Structure 1
Amino acid sequence: MKTTIKSGLSALAMTAICAGALGAAEMGNVDKPIKLAINEWTGQHVTTHVAGEMLKAAGYKVEYVTAGMMNQFQAIADGDIHATLEIWSSNVSDQYAVLKGEGKLEELSDLGLDAKEGIAYPAHVADLCPGLPAWEALKDCAMNFATAETLPQGRLVDYPADWGTPGADRMTGLDLPFKAVPAGSEGALIAELRASTEKKSPLLITFWQPHWAMSAYDVKFVELPAGEAACFEDPAWGPNPNAVNDCDFAPSRIFKAGWPGLKEQWPAAHEILVNYTLAVEDQQPMMGAVDVDGRKVEDVVAAWMGANEAKWKPVVDAATK
């Protein structure tokens, strides 16, 4: 896993110094709850609950609203949800850009997580498909991944349908003989990894980091052509002259967005959410505590908050004192 991200302490300490120099913001309507979106994956739950606990520590009321990643943006534009805390640039809907361009969404800032998405496999699969991690190896061993559902093609387990079709896009772009089958949920993706690791069976999957499963199941990424902008716009670019998406995912940026009325209604909360960052080395163990150890998100986040005040309290203090 990459380790080039800012440390939680230094990022938040610098934020607090800068914000403190400007003075604390007004609290606004503390009697009205701030509604935060809860999407479909554990990391987002952790990210959002840390933000929520920071807002509570500042004196706000918080509600968590279950919302699909792809359909949450209109609800934010309408003011029914006030912020979403973990948007992946590689998997965001076109609607987001439209609403942002119309001034109906405010992009708050980057979350700070070091991220990667790609086509992946458990390490043992390299023995079943000689030539991995090079993507060209998949041309010759696709039948090893075939199921009754996909014959004569291999099977790729893609993201859940409402996360988009990035895996399918790459199979088409690179002209690989694989059929992408959407997983039902993040949990279903993990179940695939677990079963493949236990049975030493073939598995090709669309996956991402940070995620506790990357280390738990020794997951490797297929080496695809670099995800440059031209790949997504010009069919002539890349190994397949007749298609776009014949490359890896574009480098992922993870950011936050909110309702445009957030700053006016809760100025200090807006400042907290803008300045909030979370390091991968903090998020990933919390994800494992939830998904592997079976602990509640609320309990895991509460324990982390108690043990790591220096990583989040300066941001709250700078906005409120």
Structure 2
Amino acid sequence: MKLKTAFCFVIASNFSFAAVPEDSNPVKVIINNWTSQAVLANIYGRLINSMGYKVEYAPVKSSAQWLKLKTGEVDVQVEVWEGTMSEKFNKLVGGNQALDAGTHDAKTREDWWYPEYVEEQCPGLPDWQALNKCASLFAGGKTKNKGRYVAGPWEKPDRARIRALGMNFVVDKVKKGDDLWVALKKAAEKKQPIVLFNWTPNWVEAKYKGKFVEFPEYAPECEKKSAWGVNPNFTFDCGNPKGGWLKKMTSVKMKSKWPCAYKLVNNFNFSNEMIAEVAAWVDVDNMSHNEAADKWIKQYEEKWKTWIPQECTA
């Protein structure tokens, strides 16, 4: 996909840039299949395009992006979540196969979540053991008497957790992220019990009151050492990190091939509130990812101008 030249002129008109681009090849920006990542990727792409860089957006599944970053087939990822991506991230960065491009101000959490009204039907929540005792309340579809956990389309260790904690639940994986909110809306309208994958920052917290399920506390050993935790026989007998980091990463070549674009991604920095806002423009106000990116750039010019590296301007 190419950016519109007219748009680029609008946001670039107040700047002139020295020796940019350093390389004429396009910077390939990853687009994943969840709203905030797609909007932030479009914002970043527009900003470096305004500096003179060619940009290509690369739709990539989160499970496939690691190899593509390692080989340099893609160059920039603007949202790396600690809760489910830290192992792959640390492996690539620790092996000098990708670059840590800095941390957003936003603090993350992604885990099982339920709307607040469910507490009236399942006493003891948000404790995971209380949830398990109420598993039959969440039965639906082909789950028979087992509880239904509505999972996103992304690769998560939910089945491993269910096994490790002996939970009477099955995973019902939706085809696309927006299907989570369809299921939530349908259940909420009738006050039906539902537990589903959710995360923060996310627009959902502004519309629905709810809580994350409290599993045993996370530690890195939970993912690697079966002897650690409440079940000595299996890994993943814990929840995801709370107050986790949200990082950016790039291919190894990014720093030397496009130094100014690399410095901008380091400066590129969103808070929880900022991410929730742009996600709401899409998931509540029905904007496209491109429209939301356009709106953010026009509305927050003072913010993004501080991200432009001074040494890259003429």
Change (3 A) 1:242 1:25: farther
For 1:27 and 1:131, how far apart are their aligned partners in 2? 58
Residue 185 of structure 1: which of 151, 176, 190 is its match?
Answer: 176
* Residue 110 of structure 2, aligned match among 108, 111, 117: 117
Q: Which position in structure 2 is the counterpart of 1:250?
A: 241
- In 2, the alpha carbon distance for the partners of 1:73 and 1:245 equals 21
AA in 1 matched with 2:307: V
1:239 maps to 230
Tell me what 2:260 maps to: 268
Please give the secondary structure, in 2, of the residue aligned with 1:240: coil
1:88 aligned onto 2:101:
no
Q: 1:41, CA displacement in angstroms? A: 0.2
Partners of 1:53 and 1:303 lie apart in 2 by 12
> Are 2:136 and 1:173 equivalent residues in the alignment?
no
Conserved 8 A contact 2:40-2:293: no
Distance of 2:18 and 2:74 partners within structure 1: 22
Tell me by how many angstroms 1:121 deviates.
0.6
Give 1:196's aligned residue. Answer: 187
Alignment-mate amino acid for residue 248 of structure 2: K
Of 213, 217, 220, which aligns to 1:229?
Answer: 220
Matched, 1:311 2:303: yes
Q: Please report the RMSD computed on the Cα atoms of aligned residues, expressed in angstroms.
A: 2.2
Structure 1 equivalent of residue 62 of structure 2:
69
The amino acid that maps onto 1:223 is: E
2: distance between equivalents of 1:267 and 1:237?
43
C-alpha contact (below 8 Å) 1:142/1:154 kept by paired residues: yes
Q: Distance in 1 between matches of 2:19 and 2:190?
A: 57
- What 5-or-longer segments of structure 1 have no aligned partner? 1-23
Q: How does 1:96-135 map to 2 (within 5 A)?
A: 96-135=89-128
- CA distance in 2 between partners of 1:25 and 1:88 (Å): 34
- Partner amino acid, structure 2, of 1:264: S
Q: CA deviation at 1:95?
A: 5.4
Q: Per chain length, whose mean CA-contact separation is higher, i.e. which structure has more relative contact order (CA < 8 Å, sep 6+)? A: 1
1:55 alignment partner AA: I
Partner-residue secondary structure (3-state), 2:302: helix
Q: Tell me, what secondary structure is at the counterpart of 1:60?
A: coil
Are residues 1:37 and 2:30 paired?
yes
How many matched pairs?
296
Q: Is the contact between residue 213 and residue 219 of structure 1 (CA under 8 Å) also seen in structure 2?
A: no
Q: Determine if the alignment matches structure 1 residue 213 to structure 2 residue 204.
A: yes
- The CA deviation at 1:197 is 0.7
Residue 176 of structure 2 aligns with an amino acid whose one-letter code is S
The answer (yes or no) to whether the contact 2:83–2:109 under 8 Å persists in 1 is no
1:133 to partner: Cα distance: 1.4
CA contact 1:25–1:267 (8 Å) conserved in 2 = no
Partner Cα separation in structure 1 for residue 130 and residue 88 of structure 2: 36
Deviation at 1:85, TM superposition (A): 1.0
**2:10 match:** none
**What's the CA shift for 1:317?**
4.5
**1:206-233, CA deviations, whole angstroms, 9 ceiling, x for partnerless residues?**
2211110123122311122211234334
- The worse-fitting range, judged by mean Cα deviation, of 84-93 and 135-144 is 84-93
User: Given the two structures, how large is their TM-score scaled by the length of structure 1?
Assistant: 0.84
1:104-136 Cα shifts (integer Å, max 9, x gaps): 322211133211112111111112212211222
Aligned residues of 2:21 and 2:51 also touching (Cα < 8 A): no
Query: Partner letter of residue 75 of structure 1?
Result: K
How far apart, in 2, do the equivalents of 1:148 and 1:304 lie? 40
Cα separation, 1, equivalents of 2:252 and 2:309? 23
Which whole-Å deviations, capped at 9, do the CAs of 1:73-118 have from their partners, x for residues lacking one?
2222333211111111222286555544443322211133211112
Percent identity between matched residues is 30
TM-score by length of 2: 0.86
- Secondary structure in structure 2 of the residue aligned to 1:118: strand
Looking at structure 2, the residues matched to 245 and 102 of structure 1 have their Cα atoms a distance apart, in angstroms, of 24
